[in-house]
Structure 1
Amino acid sequence: MSITLDTSITYTLAEEVAHRMLTAARTAPKARGKDTLVTAVADNETRLVIAEHMRTMANESRAAAFFLRDADNLEASHSLILLGTKIDPMRLEPCGLCGFANCEEKLLHPGHPCAFNTGDLGIAIGSAVSVAMDSRVDNRVMFSIGMAVLELGLLGEDVKIIYGIPLSIAGKNAFFDRKPKK
């Protein structure tokens, strides 16, 4: 006779949910059907590298102190998905939602986001976290992780906006009742 303790399957289940989350993000609606989304599941080694980089950012005053708290949350998690977007205007005229008169003017400012790219990213994030919720896997959308991933260049230089979503399967939600780092 044999049994499998739930602690030995936690990472496998978290990875399975992570991949289903990426599927939901990929299939989420996109403006004009144009896909600027970049998705990834970080392996455990990369997850820990990102957490350490977040601590470095906070300790060197390149980021807010709460990056330390978020790094602890990331380190305690069981999986991490990354969702980002490239900046590629949709060329819907007239628009101006980005603050420029049109896409031609916006193209003169390549680092400035297109409202549709960021909107699509938000819809993809919502789709992804709904999968985690349906699976009863604790998660939290964190821009702090995305900032570290951006600095590390893990999704490529053409990806300009990134969010990380760590996943946790535990008796206590690691992302709730978080204590602020001072």
Structure 2
Amino acid sequence: MKLNPETEIIELLAKTILVAARTAPKGKGIDDIVTCLLDDKECAELANKMEELSDIKGMKFLLRDAKNVRDSDAVVLIGLKSSGASGLDCGACGFETCKGMLETKKVKKEFSGPHCMIKYLDLGIAVGCAASKAKDLCIDNRIMYSAGAAACYFEMMDADVAMALPLSVRGKNIFFDRPSTR
């Protein structure tokens, strides 16, 4: 008899969740999405980096989120490594033309940018598809700017912008009753 065998399949399910991110619709069919699945050591490292970034930036919610990352059964990162612009000259990025945006010196903080708004939408759709797939699989999850920001800031993944999706298979959702960080 195996007790609690559901915890043994989390890596496979995390990969399934990343399939949802990969196959999400992309603007003009150009895939600039980067995905990764962290192992236990990398999850601990990410949580440490989140605490370090909290000290650097003074953002206390990173401490709460770092605890969630530590307590997670798996963490996936979904990022954007932009290869250009859509060529629509839509202005959503704040520039008159795509060429103007592409010629602008990139700012590097937690994330680097600006990027084409269509690329940001692609990232949002990919993250939403991943979170939806996690929910379809009955895996508790939470989209975290904080963990994605730390992963980019400390160059744990080759992405310009990223979001994290920590995953949990427990009797109680660890992302639900989180303490306030005011």
TM-score by length of 1: 0.91
Q: Identity rate of aligned residues, in percent?
A: 37
Match of 2:36 in 1: 40
Aligned residues: 175
2:77 and 2:162 in contact (8 A); partners too: yes
2:140 to 135, 138, 142: 138
1:69 and 1:181 in contact (8 A); partners too: yes
Match of 1:120 in 2: 122
Measure the CA separation in 1 of the matches of 2:97 and 2:144. Answer: 31
Change in Cα spacing, 1:9 to 1:136, as seen in structure 2 (3 Å) is closer
Change in Cα spacing, 1:63 to 1:26, as seen in structure 2 (3 Å) is farther
Measure the CA separation in 2 of the matches of 1:61 and 1:177. Answer: 26
Measure the CA separation in 1 of the matches of 2:51 and 2:180. Answer: 14
Measure the CA separation in 2 of the matches of 1:63 and 1:119. Answer: 28
Shift of 1:9: 4.3
Change in Cα spacing, 1:163 to 1:63, as seen in structure 2 (3 Å) is farther
1:88 and 1:117 in contact (8 A); partners too: no
User: 1:41 is matched by which residue type in structure 2?
Assistant: L
**Gapped runs of 5+ residues in structure 2?**
107-112
* Cα shift readout 1:94-152 (whole Å, capped 9, x = no counterpart): 32111101111001224212101110001101111111111100000001001110122
Match of 1:27 in 2: 23
Measure the CA separation in 1 of the matches of 2:171 and 2:58. Answer: 30
| Worse-matched range after superposition: 45-54 or 147-156 | 147-156
Q: Does 1:62 align with 2:60?
A: no
2:75 to 61, 73, 80: 80
User: 2:118 is matched by which residue type in structure 1?
Assistant: F
Shift of 1:33: 0.6
1:51 and 1:74 in contact (8 A); partners too: yes
Measure the CA separation in 1 of the matches of 2:58 and 2:46. Answer: 14
Match of 2:178 in 1: 178
Measure the CA separation in 2 of the matches of 1:162 and 1:101. Answer: 26
User: 2:86 is matched by which residue type in structure 1?
Assistant: R
Match of 1:93 in 2: 88
2:97 to 102, 108, 132: 102
Classify the secondary structure of the residue corresponding to 1:46. Answer: helix
* Cα shift readout 1:71-97 (whole Å, capped 9, x = no counterpart): 001100000000000133333233211
User: 1:47 is matched by which residue type in structure 2?
Assistant: C
2:85 and 2:115 in contact (8 A); partners too: no
Match of 1:168 in 2: 168
Match of 2:109 in 1: none
1:17 and 1:131 in contact (8 A); partners too: no
2:6 and 2:169 in contact (8 A); partners too: no
What's the C-alpha RMSD, in Å, of the aligned pairs? 1.4
